[in-house]
Chains A and B, each alone.
Chain A
């Protein structure tokens, strides 16, 4: 595609519910990243995939958060038992991989837990 696509753009869910956020990276990009941006803050790293495998998941805040990328393209961020503190904009980015390549960001999914 032309850019990184994230769906839905907005998601409102009740506390305790399960949510899935989807990221469709730029075609051919092997690296994929998830970040979380809380109100008034900069993006915070969650997890990085190289191909199908999670190369670095050190930013996932706890075991309620999980992400997959089964075919090395689309990724899904899954949040179980959502809490109000999970409310944020979840950003996805992709790149060709390698340390010098630019990461392209999607517009994000705004998650609101009520």
Chain B
């Protein structure tokens, strides 16, 4: 079984500042890792995913995440945020070969001008 912990329920940052959203997971098997974003009144949208290979994964809208197996982490980063990045961000994990996703509780990112 897998579980995901998003360490911050809310993260406020100023526009153009860097941001890191933290995600830790636990699993007894090898995993795939995902970050989804949910903009207000919209469905979940995939930002990026780690399946294998390079541990630094680049996604849409300038986001990237790094898979750290020893620390069981998959933190999401962006060097400079915009007002339009205001949303809820979810980290998710699936066991390799499995179809279902296990989500964290989400981190609400608020961008202040």
Contact = CB atoms under 8 A, between A and B. Distances in A.
A1 interface: no
Interface string A70-94: 0000000000000000000001010
Interface centre among A31, A40, A103, A108 (most CB of B within 10 A): A103
Given A40-B105, A100-B51, A91 B44 contact: yes
Contact of A56 (B32, B43, B99): B99
B98 interface: yes
Given A42-B106, A99-B32, A59 B44 contact: no
B113 interface: no
Which of A33, A43, A91, A104 has its CB near the most chain B CB atoms (within 10 A)?
Answer: A43
A107 B97 CA distance: 26
Given A91-B44, A100-B51, A107-B43, A44 B103 contact: yes
Interface string B1-33: 000101000000000000000000000000010
Interface size class of chain A, counting residues whose CB lies under 8 Å from the partner chain: 20 to 34
Interface residues on B, range: 20 to 34
A46 to B, nearest CB: 9
B45 A105 contact: yes
Given A91-B44, A99-B32, A102-B46, A42 B99 contact: no
Given A33-B101, A91-B44, 6 more contacts: A33-B99, A33-B100, A41-B105, A42-B6, A42-B106, A105-B44
Interface of A: 3-4, 31, 33, 35, 40-45, 48, 50, 55-56, 58-59, 91, 93, 99-100, 102-108
Interface of B: 4, 6, 32, 36, 41-46, 49, 51, 90, 92, 94, 96-106
20 contacts: A35-B101, A35-B103, A40-B106, A42-B103, A42-B104, A45-B100, A48-B99, A48-B100, A59-B100, A91-B44, A99-B32, A99-B94, A99-B96, A100-B51, A103-B46, A103-B101, A105-B45, A107-B41, A107-B43, A108-B43
